[in-house]
Amino acid sequence: MIKKLSVLIGILLFGIFTAQKKEQLQKQNAELKKQIAAINANLAKTQQQSKLSIAYLNDVNKKIQLREKVYTNTQKEKRLIEDDIYLRQLEINRQNRELAVLRKNYAEVLVKAYKNKGVQNKVTFILSSKNLGEALRRVQYLKDYSDYQDKKAAEISDAAKKLLQNVALKQKSVKDKETILSNQQKDLLTIEAERKQKESLLEEFKKNEVQLTAELRQKQTESKKLEAQIRSIIAEEIRIAKAKEEENRKIEAEKIRLAKIAAEREKARIEAENKARLEALALAKKKADEEAKRLKDIADKKAAEEAERAKIAAAADAKKTEDAKRAADAEKAEARRLAAAKEAADAAANAKVAADKAAAARAAEATLAKKNDDEKKAAETKAMTNFGVTAAVGNNFAANRGRMGMPAYGTITHRFGRQPHPVFKNIVEENNGIKIAVAKGTVAKCIAPGTVSRVIASGDGLKTVIVKHGDYFTIYANLATTMVSANQQVSAGTSIGSVGEDFDGSYTLDFQIWNGSNPVDPLGWVN
């Protein structure tokens, strides 16, 4: 029983795993087929153009690779289905064995029932009981025996249904396998056809190898000349920028010197104007402090006198007699005490007023001092502005590395650096940038704000645009037409020009990025 349960659990788990894996492979294949469809659409667009292009060949190669991935995934799916068929067959064999046993047991039950058939026999069986208890037990036995027969029949029915279900699932898996095998055959035929297409393209390249190689070498020669021009232009731009920077530094230093002189004069004037006010406030503050001190001393003295009088009056009150004269003297003493208390209170109030005046004088002095400082700072800022002193503005090209868009979107056929030609392996290329194969009519876009440094026209009628971004330069070469001019301010996304036709019939943009006089890999900067 445990073994049977383990087998069932194993089959169930494998079924779940197989379903998940099949679904994953099918999703991958669906995505791969979408990519293949996109490549086919792109190839259909360019079929009227020359097929002797690296971009066309790259697309064919990529399509073959995707087809092979689809085929590999289909192979994996086929193996999963085969494993499922195998396990289903094992389960069917086990269920057949169990069903045979159930049917054998049921047949034995039916034979026994036949030997003891008939209502009379059952009645005789019950009536032959020795007592009522035994008769009841025999009735229950007959009922249980009948239920047992029904149970066995139900088990056979359920087992048969499960068997049929597994057989159906196996048959479905077999059909799925047949479908996959059919698709695989189609895929193999398609892959073979596409490989023949690739071989045909390569054959075309070989037929025209001499001409294409000569054109390629001529193109490389022109590229070297263009590179020399670019280097010369960039070197001149750097020289001019350094000279301008030095000139600007001197001009800025002179502006700062003159601005500081003017600011010092203005600050001296402000200081002179505010000096008298500050002195007057200082004198007023001193007088207020002295008056506050004097009044405070008076108040303190009055308070002390009042305290002494209160003490004497208290002593006098202790020695009072019932004599009327003494009572009158006491009233006079009380009147004098009250008058002295009023004088002390008045003196304290006057002292507070004087203290408030002194505090106000100190606050006014502090306010004037701050006003004096603020006016001098404002005068310095105004002088710097009047003389044209400005803060240096940094370049943000480097800060946007990796976040700038491509100048045009297509297929990258040639990458940065030294590498063999994709077709003519005997030719080594030295690329200062990347080459992007695009559809006819594609317009190259500027990748960042800058200033157009130069528009260069080549002998073959194609053009190159150099854009300056502070210390960096972007190059847009192999343009049929241009849409910008020298010294023009451009922003990210500004149309530079339409991409021109290359020697092999494709439309290719040669895009470069230079850090000063050194070219860098554009793929590290754009995405």
User: What's the average pLDDT block by block, 10 residues per block, for the chain (527 residues)?
Assistant: 54 62 74 69 54 65 81 79 78 75 70 55 65 76 68 71 73 74 74 75 65 67 81 87 78 80 82 76 77 78 75 64 56 68 68 71 73 74 62 66 92 85 70 90 95 89 93 95 94 95 83 94 92
Same domain, 28 and 172: yes
Q: pLDDT at position 274, please?
A: 75
Q: Which helix (H) or strand (E) holds 8?
A: helix 2-45
413: domain range?
396-524
Please indicate, yes or no, whether residues 464 and 493 belong to a single structural domain of this protein. yes
Contact 520/511 with Cβ under 8 angstroms?
Answer: no
pLDDT attached to residue 408: 95
The pLDDT of residue 115 is: 61
**What is the pLDDT at residue 429?**
78
Q: Are residues 128 and 48 in the same domain?
A: yes
Q: Are residues 155 and 304 in the same domain?
A: no
pLDDT at 394: 40
Residues 401 and 380 in one domain: no
pLDDT at 391: 45
- Same domain for 407 and 339, yes or no, is no
Output the pLDDT for position 205: 64
* pTM for the whole structure: 0.43
Which CA distances in Å does 363 have to 275, 296, 359, 370, 426?
16, 21, 6, 11, 89
Q: Which residues pair with 450 in a beta bridge?
A: 490
Do 248 and 181 sit in the same domain of this protein?
no
Q: What is the CATH number of the domain that holds 83?
A: 1.10.287
Same domain (yes/no): 195, 264: no
> Quick one: pLDDT at residue 245?
74
Number of domains in the chain: 3
Instruction: Give me the pLDDT at residue 50, please.
Output: 46
Residues 430 and 497 in one domain: yes
How high is the pLDDT of residue 367? Answer: 79
Let me know if residue 214 belongs to a domain.
no
Please check whether residue 350 lies inside any domain of the structure.
yes
pLDDT at 411 (0 to 100)? 85
The domain boundary, picked from 366, 386, 406, lies at 386
In Å, how far are 40, 56, 64, 214, 355 from 205, measured between CA atoms?
Answer: 21, 12, 19, 13, 104
Q: Which pLDDT belongs to residue 51? A: 46
